[in-house]
Amino acid sequence: MKAIPPTTATWMLKHLASAEGNEELEGDLLEEFQRRRSASWYWRQVLLAILAFPNASRIAWLTFWAAIFAAVWVSGLHTISSLMAHFRFQAAFGNWLDRESYGKTIWVAEGIAFYLAGPVTVYLALARNLSLRSLAVGVGVGVLTIFLFPLVQPHLYTPLSYFFAYALAKHWNVTLWLRWYDILQGSQAPVGIIPLLVAMCAASLCRTRSPKLDPKESPSDESKPAASLQENSTGA
C-alpha cells in the first residue's frame, strides 16, 4: 500500500519552499518516503528544503502574521506581569515605585525598550539586512512612532499615557481607580502593534532585493555529456 507522507510537512513544502524546482523535489521526497516510510525523515527533509530554497514572499507574510500575534500576546503578558510586579513591589517595599525616582525611571525605560524591541526586530527580520544602517533605521522608525503616536491619540498608547494617568491617580490617591485603569491598560495593550505595522511598512519599502539568478546559459560545446574521468586521470 502506498504510504502518505505527513500532510502538514507537505503543505509547508508547497507553500514555504521556492516554487522553482519544487515539483522535482516534491516527487523525489515522495518517492524516497515510499521506500523509507519514516515521518521524521520526511520532516527533516522538508525543513532542510525550506532552509535551502525559501519562498521569501510567503515567509515574509508568515512572519508578518506571527509578529502581529506575538505583539498582541506579548503585550498582554507584559501588562499582566507589570501589574503583578507593581502590586508585589507595593506589598514588599511600600510603594517603592512611587517613592523612589529611579524606580519610576526604570519602569519608563523598561516600557520604552519593550515597545521599541518589537518594531526593530520585525524591521530587521523583514529588511533581511543586518547592517548598522538598517539597525539605525529600525531604531529611528521605532522611536518616531513611539513618540509621534501619543500626539495623535494620547490616551490609547500605553507607556506614556500610563504615567500621565498614574500621576493623576497618585495625586488623587485613588487606588481603586488606578486598579481599574490597569485593567483598561490590559485591553489597550494591542495598540502597541501600531509602531510594529509602521516598521513593517518601512521594511517593505526599504527591503533589499536579492540579486536575480543569471539566466540559463545557452547550450554550448562545454555542456556536452562528459566522457569518462579515467581517460585523462593517468596524468595525475
Partner 1 sequence: MGKGENLGEFELTVILALLRLGEEAYGVPIAREIEASANREVGIASVYAALERLERKGFVASRRGEPTPERGGRAKRFFRVTALGLRRVRKTQRTLIRLWQGLRQLEGGEA
**Chain positions contacting partner 1, by CB under 8 A:** 17, 21, 23-32, 34, 41, 44-45, 48-49, 51-53, 213-214, 217, 219, 221-227, 229, 232-233, 235-236
CA distance between the termini of the chain: 51
Q: Of 94 and 219, which CB lies nearer to partner 1 in the complex structure?
A: 219
Cell numbers that stand for 50 in this block: 525550506
Please say which residue, 209 or 216, places its beta carbon nearer to partner 1. 216
CB neighbourhood size of 26 (10 A): 17
Residue 26 C-beta: closest distance to partner 1, Å:
6
Please, what is the minimum distance in Å from the beta carbon of residue 52 to partner 1? 4
Q: DSSP string spanning 40-75?
A: HHHHHHHHHHHHHSB-HHHHHHHHHHHHHHHHHHHH
Q: How far is the CB of 11 from partner 1 (least distance, A)?
A: 14
Nearer to partner 1, 42 or 123 (CB): 42
Of 30 and 197, which CB lies nearer to partner 1 in the complex structure? Answer: 30
- Smallest gap from residue 37 Cβ to partner 1 (A): 15
Half-sphere exposure of 59 (CA within 13 A, CB side): 15
Q: Give residue for cell 503543505.
A: 11
Which cell numbers hold the place of 227?
566522457
Nearer Cβ to partner 1, position 47 or 74? 47
Phi, psi for 26 (deg, rounded to 5): -60, -45
Nearest C-alpha neighbor of 75 from the set 178, 162, 183, 158:
158
Which lies closer to partner 1 via its Cβ, residue 23 or residue 205? 23
Contact indicator for 115, 126 with CB cutoff of 8 Å = no
Q: Cβ closer to partner 1: 5 or 192?
A: 5
CA–CA gap between residue 100 and residue 85 (Å, rounded) = 16
Cβ of residue 197: shortest distance to partner 1, in angstroms?
34
- Which one-letter amino acid corresponds to residue 136? A
Residue recorded with cell 505527513: 6
Shortest approach of partner 1 to residue 229 CB, angstroms? 6
